[in-house]
Structure 1
């Protein structure tokens, strides 16, 4: 939040992935080269800045292409659209995640502008990179996943009223209820932020709340933290 503490609104250009190896490489590789070419270090650094500017322009152009696809799909829906977004993805400036949020649903799609045909399906034993590669569709054949934002359950309503979930919803951009279940005498509600979710690949930043029969909080927190505690 660049204007904090004056306002809480978060502004984002959505141009570069949070860990962009190309972006970082354009900065650090010329930097290390300049250490050995001191006489030409200024020109090396200037070249780095030019390359970085061109890369940002490329990302900006690809983001515009992704937003056009997002808006076309949003207009095809017979629903009130709250917000749309196209978010950068790892390893390539040509891959984007597409989101369309309506009153009670979120549509999620993944596109690769260099792809013409869908890749072959993968299995549970496939590697991380094989699953990641399978996630992205060609621009004309995007498979949108439908997520229901909230489930009709009193335990969801109870979880939404907790301080932890309220903070999670403040942090999240596209939050949904992932699951509601009952196990070992406890009611468990789990939330995810779709902007970090890659179906069948990874699903980080999952937040859960568990209640006992009386409705008191038994435990809550991030799923990843709980797994570490068990280990």
Structure 2
């Protein structure tokens, strides 16, 4: 999920949980309730914190890709991060307020960030540092305007009526309802994939459905059988195709076809050229390509070419290929001749993070 939506969701949850009681004169400094603005600010900042792992890009992009949503998104480490943030917030207020007062909004901010990323397709290391296994329930695309607008509406109304938290509670309930709606679409896409796998007699096929940009009704369906991908970009709402599109976003939208069009196509993980598959597999399994193999969940050959680097074999991950756009995070291995070692290379993409 995008960083701003994460931060706003932390502010919303902190607003719901905020203590607004005015302390009595007998209360100690340690028990003074935080001003509402500081509770909301702490939730906002804490919900942005887990994406601090973006700094790993200073090492290299693949290190970042392999460790993004790692330890900073761990449920095991959540109390530690919240404690550190609480101490930082206390220090920033010149210790006027105890770190203990910041601990709850910090916990809530990190927790809702984890929950927000859990329903995207990237995957979180929820149990780091004890396990690097990733978990996800892909329901929402990383940028979802409806998701963000619900949060913004709740915060704006809460700002207009600062003594009432009903707007924030309603916004959170609406978010839960929206996520449930996305889950029903997810299940619909899974059922389409199961029917297709059964019709094609694909035993033990691995089914994945991924939310896509521009509409909650857009889904990418991947049915993987051995080294073959059966793919469909579907619009679960449309009953008939759209008219000819002329500009980029409309072309992207038009690529997601109605269910009845049975818009399936087949791609081989290592390409269709049987004479070249041995070399492509060798490149894929080369030690130089290990970090990309760790990252890619649905790797597929993009192309082979020859340049000043020699023979180059390029791959990308199907998770990051969208209609009308070049794939993101394209990596390959190159060598000058059959006696040379493979060397990993990177191809820049359309977006800055590529």
Residues 198-209 of structure 1: matches in 2 within 5 Å? 198-209=322-333
Q: Which residue of 2 aligns with 1:170?
A: 294
1:128 matched to 2:248:
yes
Bigger mean CA offset, 59-68 vs 22-31: 22-31
Q: Give the conservation status (yes or no) of the 8 Å contact 2:300–2:318.
A: yes
Higher strand share: 1
Q: Deviations over 1:25-67 (max 9, x none)?
A: 2123321332232123x01101111110110110011101111
**Equivalent position SS for 2:257:** coil
SS in 1 for 2:154: helix
Offset at residue 71 of structure 1 (A): 0.7
Deviation readout 1:96-118 (Å, 9 max, x if unpaired): 11000011210111111221112
Shift of 1:170: 1.8
Give the drift of 1:92: 1.8
Deviates more, 1:141-150 or 1:209-218: 209-218
Task: Evaluate the alpha carbon distance shift between residue 7 and residue 167 of structure 1 in structure 2; reply closer, same or farther with a 3 A threshold.
Answer: same
> 1:6 and 1:134 mapped to 2: Cα distance?
44
Say which SS state the counterpart of residue 146 (structure 1) adopts.
strand
Q: How far apart are the structure 1 equivalents of 2:345 and 2:157?
A: 45
| Structure 1 pair 201–3 and aligned structure 2 pair: CA distance change class (3 A) | same
Match of 1:192 in 2: 316
Q: Which residue of 1 aligns with 2:270?
A: 150
CA contact (8 A) 2:310 2:335 kept: yes
Contact 1:81 1:100 in 2 (8 A): no
Q: Deviations over 1:71-111 (max 9, x none)?
A: 11111223344410111112322111100001121011111
Residue 59 (structure 1) aligns with: 182
The equivalent of 1:108 in structure 2 is 231
Contact map agreement 1:14 1:87 (CA 8 A) in 2: yes
For structure 1, list consecutive stretches of 5 or more residues without a partner in the other structure: none
The equivalences for 1:1-80 within 5 A come to: 1-40=125-164, 42-80=165-203
What TM-score comes out, normalization by structure 2 length?
Answer: 0.58
Gapped regions of structure 2 (runs ≥ 5): 1-124
Stretch of structure 1 that moved more, 47-56 or 8-17: 8-17
Q: Which has the higher helix share?
A: 2
1:190–1:207: 8 Å Cα contact kept in structure 2? yes
* Worse-superposed segment, 68-77 or 195-204: 195-204
The answer to whether residue 344 in structure 2 is matched with residue 224 in structure 1 is no
